Chain A
Amino acid sequence: MAKLRARALPARLWSWRYLVLRRLIQFGVLLLFFGTAHWGWEAGKDVPLLNGNLSASEFAGVLPMTDPFAALQIFLAGHVLQTESILGAAIVLGFYALVGGRVFCAWVCPVNPVTDLAGWLRQRLPVSALFGLSRNTRYFVLAAALILSAVASVAAFEWVSPIGMLQRGVVFGMGLGFLSLLAIFLFDLLILKNGWCGHLCPLGAFWSLVGIVAPLRVRFDKATCTHCGECARVCPEPQVLNLKKLEQTGWVASGACSNCGRCTALCPEDSLNFALRPPIRARHAATLAKAAVTDNRN
């Protein structure tokens, strides 16, 4: 930390670039929804700019977008979706499969500022964990959401989702939805560190699974890393920065990484950076070539 504190102000400001960008996008997306709903923002005559909300929307009357997790729940609940929403789900799924599944979590989801604030405050409070909970719990919650959708014939998570309550609430009326956010805030602040986003949220679990294939990831430079551990200290999912795995693969390979960019902006040695990981076949070929070179040397 001392090394970071010692940085000049412009350098420190520059290290906040991803944070500022993330907040701009998070609030910008909500503002686009709100402006379209309440101020009649249009892309053309009688064409709403961004109609809907994060569950499903249409941009400029041409680009449908659908939350693929919501669509999957609705399908399991027994409804055959219309082409428009299937296409929209494919578009959104395709986008996050390229830039990283949990990019949704860190860059778009409106609950993220709430839990980030709780996490930021928690660091400054003398709070220790009340109990431990596996970070894999979220995958069980994800499975439960899918099973319950089929059993109860409603989209199980969409009907209770605090994310839905917040993002719908901002555009269409909050009601008592803020209570669930207060609950999440307190849970993260006083009970379990990164409790909601890091342990329970099934939408995050869904995007984690999608994120495994994404080419845009954080690359690790073994040569420059001094093992100072600053990255793991700011990371909301520190298990993805497992040094042994990083050295093996050269990438933050876990789908649980949200590409929030905290570590890349902070790393004093610049050992962590966003880059495009080549597809598996190319990676395999590279490994073979490397092996061949080593063999030749021997």
Chain B
Amino acid sequence: MAEHAPGNPQRRDFLTKLAQGAAFAGTGGLLWEYILRNEARASPYALRPPGALAEADFNAACIKCGQCVNVCPPDILKLQPAGGRLPIGMPFFEPRTGACIMCPDIPCMKACPTGALSPALKRIEDARMGLAVIDMENCLSYQGLRCEICHRECPLKGRAITLETHPRQTSKHAMFIPLVHSDACTGCGICEKACPTEIAAIRILPHPLVQGKIGEHYRYGWMDKGEITQEFRPSDAPAPVAPAKPGEAAPGMDYLNAGDL
């Protein structure tokens, strides 16, 4: 049996150790990876300071230093402590308790050392921290009451929030319906903070959570002037076809035997 004994016990020992080490590293690595993914899972719900990169890029870029938090004049930014609702250590704000006042010089962005709050943001009006969304069932204006506080408080009123009047019967005054426009709303959250309902009926949510996408294949035929894809004049229409006589096949139904092919 001697010939079946391992040729090199040292080598076998080394290979076993190598496999064990690799398994240990692999298990630990997978566990670590799982923790990271689990931690990042809540990031779509976070409202970030102005100029923040898109979610995945922001997760990669933020060094969790809190310099933006310290320089924020209204002191609304917080760093998420461990074990909280959002991914660890990164800045966020909650508009209901502290809305962004849209400082024109954007101090938080300037304080960011890594560029997670991108200096590409030149005007605070171009910030897109989130988008205001109205709960029609609980908005006072939609119930026919004169509220419109969100519209009045909006720093970009007339652009980010407009009012649409809906006339009603003569015994009641018109409805003044607030509408949010995503091309102007910065997501500062002043509307959410000001909303008088018990739980805010207008709220800021990150864009990916609320915005749909029409898709490339839809055409606005009534808007695409000068982009007619098919010429069609009334004179091009075929002559009307005489109705079929009783007992005969309808015209066109038997054209293969009609003899004019």
Contact = CB atoms under 8 A, between A and B. Distances in A.
13 contacts: A52-B65, A55-B64, A58-B67, A58-B113, A147-B29, A156-B32, A158-B89, A159-B36, A164-B89, A168-B81, A172-B66, A175-B84, A176-B83
B12 interface: no
A144 interface: yes
A276 B44 CA distance: 51
B63 A155 contact: yes
Please provide the 4 A-B residue pairs with the shortest distance between their CB atoms, ordered closest to farther.
Answer: A175-B81, A176-B83, A56-B65, A177-B82
Contacts of B61: 74, 77, 79, 81
Contact of A152 (B37, B69, B112, B116): B37
Among A37, A155, A171, chain B packs the most CB atoms within 10 A around the CB of A155
A85 B113 contact: yes
B113 A88 contact: yes
A94 interface: no
A53 interface: yes
B36 A55 contact: no
Nearest to B119: A82
A156 B66 contact: no
B36 A148 contact: yes
B81 A55 contact: no
B60 A74 contact: yes
Interface string B173-197: 0000000000000000000000000
A144 B25 contact: yes
Given A58-B111, A159-B40, A174-B82, 19 more contacts: A67-B63, A71-B63, A74-B61, A78-B60, A79-B114, A80-B115, A82-B115, A85-B63, A85-B115, A151-B33, A152-B37, A159-B39, A160-B36, A160-B88, A165-B88, A171-B66, A173-B79, A176-B84, A177-B81
Contact of B81 (A53, A79, A160, A176): A176
Contact of A154 (B40, B66, B69): B40
B57 interface: yes
Given A79-B61, A155-B60, A164-B89, A52 B70 contact: yes
Given A51-B111, A67-B63, A173 B81 contact: yes
B82 A180 contact: yes
A140 interface: yes
Contact of A176 (B60, B63, B82, B119): B82
Nearest to A37: B70
A48 interface: yes
B87 interface: yes
Given A66-B113, A175-B81, A156 B63 contact: no
A158 B64 CA distance: 8
A80 B120 CA distance: 14
A84 interface: yes
A177 B89 CA distance: 11
A159 B89 contact: yes
B113 A172 contact: no
Interface in A114-136: none
Interface string B102-113: 000000000111
Interface in A164-208: 164-165, 168-169, 171-177, 179-180
Interface in B49-65: 56-57, 59-61, 63-65
Contact of B29 (A144, A158, A165, A175): A144
Contacts of A81: 61, 114-115
A52 B91 CA distance: 12
B239 to A, nearest CB: 66
Given A159-B87, A171-B66, A172-B81, A144 B28 contact: yes
B62 to A, nearest CB: 8
B54 to A, nearest CB: 12
Contacts of A160: 32, 35-36, 39, 88
Given A175-B83, A175-B84, A37 B66 contact: yes
A14 B140 CA distance: 73
Among A158, A160, A172, A176, chain B packs the most CB atoms within 10 A around the CB of A172
A176 B87 CA distance: 13
Given A67-B63, A154-B40, A175 B113 contact: no
B175 to A, nearest CB: 44
Interface in B12-52: 25, 28-29, 32-33, 35-37, 39-40
Among B65, B71, B88, chain A packs the most CB atoms within 10 A around the CB of B65
A168 B40 CA distance: 18
A254 interface: no
A77 B40 CA distance: 14
B64 A168 contact: yes
B78 interface: yes
B66 A79 contact: no
A55 B70 CA distance: 14
Contact of B67 (A57, A151, A155): A57
